[in-house]
């Protein structure tokens, strides 16, 4: 009798762990793993990017490292170099993907996945919070998969009470 009761207690735990395996949770993000070259346009000008994605910490997180170099322009004669480190996580309690993005300028943004549409071809993240940014600033980060080796990324900002405005658009190609 004790063995049957013990088995009944463990059954829900084993079903829960099978249904929420890391492999199935992260499947939509497998596409990004690898190294990417980017062409970037936006308020910082025209630039080139170098990016990599890899699963870390036993597959619990997806880590992205990015460096972008923007050409000199009239308003910025020295050009600009931007770096960010991004960690994707899965919040089991909310059943949501979260991004924590650390930028060289000192901004730390936390985004939540709002929608995953077109059978995982479009990922739209909206900011939940931003450290060291103007109060009320909102951001949206979107990924649009074009094919197996190319995706487009947009970064939009919105001041309080205003609509989102495109800040940066990047085109990424998988490095072979």
Within 60-136, residue ranges assigned H as helices are: none
75: phi then psi, degrees, rounded to nearest 5: -80, -10
- Beta pairing, strands 34-42 & 165-174: antiparallel
**What's the number of domains the chain is made of?**
1
Q: Write the pLDDT tens digit of every residue in 30-39.
A: 999 999 999 9
Residue 93 lies in a domain: yes
Residue 7 lies in a domain: no
Q: Write the pLDDT tens digit of every residue in 89-99.
A: 999 999 999 99
Residue 140, number of CB atoms within 10 A of its CB = 18
> For residues 25 and 46, what is the distance between their CA atoms, to the nearest angstrom?
35
- CA-nearest of 69, 133, 139, 127 to 107 is 133
- CA-nearest of 161, 114, 157 to 138 is 157
pTM for the complete prediction? 0.83
Residue 36's domain comprises 22-174
CATH number of 75's domain:
2.40.128.20
> For residues 126 and 141, what is the distance between their CA atoms, to the nearest angstrom?
6
Q: 129: which strand partners?
A: 110
Q: Write the pLDDT tens digit of every residue in 2-45.
A: 444 334 344 344 334 444 556 688 999 999 999 999 999 998 89
Residue 131 lies in a domain: yes
């Amino acid at each position: 009798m004790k063995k049957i009761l013990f088995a009944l207690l463990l059954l829900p735990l084993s079903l829960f762990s099978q249904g929420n395996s890391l492999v199935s949770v992260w499947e939509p993000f497998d596409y990004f793993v690898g190294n990417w070259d980017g062409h970037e346009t936006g308020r910082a000008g025209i630039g080139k990017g170098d990016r990599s994605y890899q699963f870390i910490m036993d597959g619990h997180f997806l880590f992205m490292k990015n460096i972008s170099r923007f050409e000199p322009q009239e308003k910025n004669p020295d050009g600009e170099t931007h770096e960010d480190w991004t960690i994707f996580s899965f919040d089991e309690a909310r059943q949501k993907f979260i991004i924590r993005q650390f930028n060289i300028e000192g901004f730390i943004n936390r985004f939540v996945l709002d929608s995953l549409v077109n059978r995982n071809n479009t990922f739209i993240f909206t900011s939940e919070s931003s450290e060291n940014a103007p109060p009320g600033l909102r951001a949206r980060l979107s990924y649009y998969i074009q094919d197996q080796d190319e995706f487009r990324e947009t970064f939009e900002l919105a001041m309080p009470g205003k609509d989102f405005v495109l800040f940066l658009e990047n085109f990424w190609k998988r490095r072979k």
